[in-house]
Amino acid sequence: MSRSRHLAQFNIARIKYPLDDPRMVDFVENVARVNGLAGKIEGFVWRLQDDSGNAMGMTVYDDPRMLPNLTVWKNIEALERFVWKTVHSRFYGRREEWFEPLDTPLVMWWVPAGTRPSMDEGVARRAHLMAHGPSDHAFGWEHLPAAHHWKSARGDAPKLHLREHAA
């Protein structure tokens, strides 16, 4: 490949309760912690944020209950390490407490290194994924053969036989 590229990811979540509701306290009080951790992961490049340091005050889909998240990573391994191998995975595991189920909450795509995609681009890529399925233009975890932690976290990894070793 002649050009360096990075992985952009856009995901959304519709909150069940207002952010100041006591049922949201564990989520809200840990956003800065989880975002701070992402920024320390080798391979993290950029995160969309407003003056508050996060994107929870930004509106997407004209829905004030929809929380956007848009990040760029050097590679899939860095994003996977953050999502599945840090404290983020504990909060991800609790998402049903705070968020309504959504069809296709996540989309990823490759961008030239140095690119900072807009939220509008994330919305457009998600719409493309929903309308046309995974392609090089817009995809999910399943479109990335190198996404091993995702498969393990979802229970899709091949099961080892008793005599096989993991490494």
- pLDDT in tens for each of the 167 residues of the chain? 447 999 999 999 999 999 999 999 999 998 888 888 898 999 999 999 988 888 888 999 999 999 999 999 999 999 998 888 877 878 788 889 999 999 999 999 999 999 999 999 999 999 999 999 999 999 998 877 666 666 565 654 443 333 333 33
In three-state form (DSSP H/G/I as H, E/B as E, the rest C), the secondary structure along the chain is CCCCEEEEEEEEEEECCCCCCHHHHHHHCCHHHHHHHHHHCCCEEEECCCCCCCCCCCCECCECCEEEEEEEECCHHHHHHHHHHCCHHHHHHCHHHHEECCCCCEEEEEEECCCCCCHHHHHHHHHHHHHHCCCCCCECHHHCCCCHHHHHHHCCCCCCCCCCCCC
> What's the confidence (pLDDT) of residue 35?
85
> What's the confidence (pLDDT) of residue 149?
61
> What's the confidence (pLDDT) of residue 156?
46
> What's the confidence (pLDDT) of residue 160?
34
Domain 5-154 grouped into CATH 3.20.20.70: no
- Whether the Cβ atoms of residue 108 and residue 139 lie closer than 8 Å to each other: yes
The domain locations on the chain are 5-154
> What's the confidence (pLDDT) of residue 91?
77
> What's the confidence (pLDDT) of residue 110?
97
Full-model pTM: 0.84
Cβ density class 49-67: b for 16+ within 10 Å, e for less: beeeebbbebebeeeeebb
> What's the confidence (pLDDT) of residue 2?
42
